[in-house]
Amino acid sequence: MEELLHYVLNVQVLVLVLAVVLLKNSIKFVPQNQAYVIERFGKYQSTKEAGLNFILPFIDRISADRSLKEQAVDVPEQSAITKDNISLHVDGVLYFRVLDPYKATYGVDDYVFAVTQLAQTTMRSELGKMELDKTFEERDVLNTNIVASINDAAGPWGIQVLRYEIKDIVPPQSVMEAMEAQMKAERVKRAQILESEGDRQAAINRAEGKKASVVLAAEADKEEQVLRAEGEAKAIVAVASAQAEALRQVGEAAATEEGQKAIQLDLATKAIEAKRAIAKESSVVLLPDGSTEASAVVAQAMTIIQKMTKGS
């Protein structure tokens, strides 16, 4: 009886261990952004995605573990010939991810190797369509064309190429020297253009300065002449006013008896002075009417003065 109990106990333990092993092999925890390709008896059965999954132990097996994350693969350096027959050495980086684990497992033997080789051949093909200068100027266009071409060919593999970046484009040494000479000439040209533009602007500034100076000088001279003319006009008006006032006062004085006497005295004095000056400066002797001697002129003037003195 004890042997039978011991046997039953062993069987229970064995069954328990077997159940634990079966349960362990049947439960599969798939990590995030990964997929397990399951085969049953060597034939594709299903694709298990992230989370808790169950398979049949000893019947189902994990054929492939595919990462669904974006992957970066270095594309080795290779030679390519441009449209204008220039040999280049080009390398790059390819970014892609697995969209369909089934196709990535059964559509191609090694999808990483396959997509890398496809990137190289596509890059050579696209570079052959472009001239050397365009390869440097239009890298973005080149990268876009390579991505589109690879996606067209990699569709049956369940691969999506996200982007392709060219790291280096190395032309031959002779071409690099020619490009360096061209860039140097271009820099010299730009420097000369900038210098000539600076000289031109300086000349314009000087001319504008001279023009402004001349205009200001002309305006100042004009204002000076206007002010001088206004001053002269005011002076003339003042002199004329003074003369008019003097004549008015003389006229008022001349209208009186005393004024008439003063006028007569002034005229006589001026006549005597005039005749004296003529007699002094000229060899011609002027005599008054009816007289033969110069003393008669003095006597006549004295007579006039005496009459005026008596009349007063």
Q: The whole model's pTM is what?
A: 0.52
- Give the mean model confidence (pLDDT) for residues 39-55: 88
Per-residue model confidence as pLDDT tens digits over 233-279: 888 888 888 877 776 776 676 667 676 666 666 666 776 776 677 66
User: How does residue 292 score in pLDDT terms, banded at 50, 70 and 90?
Assistant: very low
The pair phi, psi for residue 58, each rounded to 5°, is: 65, -5
Select from 79, 94, 72 the least CA-distant residue to 169: 79
Portion of the chain with pLDDT greater than 90, in percent: 11
Which distant-in-sequence residues (6+ apart) come within 8 Å of 97 by Cβ? 68, 69, 70, 71, 159, 160, 162
Select from 90, 93, 64, 66 the least CA-distant residue to 162: 93
pLDDT at 266: 67
Per-residue model confidence as pLDDT tens digits over 175-212: 667 667 777 888 888 888 888 888 888 888 888 888 88
Per-residue model confidence as pLDDT tens digits over 69-115: 999 999 888 888 888 888 888 888 999 999 999 999 998 889 899 99
Q: Are 119 and 168 in contact (CB under 8 A)?
A: no
CA 23 to chain centre: 72
Q: Residue 284 pLDDT more than 60?
A: no
pLDDT at 291: 45
- Domain ranges for the chain, please list them: 2-67, 71-171, 184-255, 257-311
118/113 Cα distance (integer angstroms):
9
pLDDT at 101: 92
Residue 23 or 290, more confident: 23
pLDDT at 60: 85
Q: Residue 146 pLDDT more than 80?
A: yes
Alpha-helical segments (H) within the chain: 2-26, 101-106, 111-127, 132-137, 139-154, 173-254, 257-281, 295-311
DSSP, collapsed to helix, strand or coil, labels residue 171 as coil
39/58 Cα distance (integer angstroms):
11
Q: Are 286 and 275 in contact (CB under 8 A)?
A: yes
208/205 Cα distance (integer angstroms):
5
β-pairing verdict for 159-170 and 87-98 = antiparallel
Select from 262, 276, 275, 273 the least CA-distant residue to 304: 262
Q: Are 67 and 98 in contact (CB under 8 A)?
A: yes
Cβ neighbours around 225 below 10 Å, total: 10
Which distant-in-sequence residues (6+ apart) come within 8 Å of 27 by Cβ? 52, 53, 54
pLDDT at 97: 93
Per-residue model confidence as pLDDT tens digits over 126-139: 888 888 878 877 88
pLDDT at 308: 53
pLDDT at 14: 80
| CA distances from residue 232 to 219, 224, 235, 239 in whole angstroms, order as listed | 20, 12, 5, 10
β-partners of residue 198 are: none
300/133 Cα distance (integer angstroms):
124
pLDDT at 293: 46
Alpha-helical segments (H) within 42-172: 101-106, 111-127, 132-137, 139-154
To the nearest whole number, what is the mean pLDDT of the chain?
80
| CA distances from residue 246 to 4, 116, 235 in whole angstroms, order as listed | 172, 121, 16
pLDDT at 102: 92
Portion of the chain with pLDDT greater than 70, in percent: 77
Which distant-in-sequence residues (6+ apart) come within 8 Å of 11 by Cβ? none
Structure tokens at 89: 């050495």
Fold of 71-171: Tetrahydropterin Synthase; Chain A (3.30.479)
CA torsion sign, 81 to 85 to 87 to 88?
negative
pLDDT at 70: 92
Residue type, 309: T
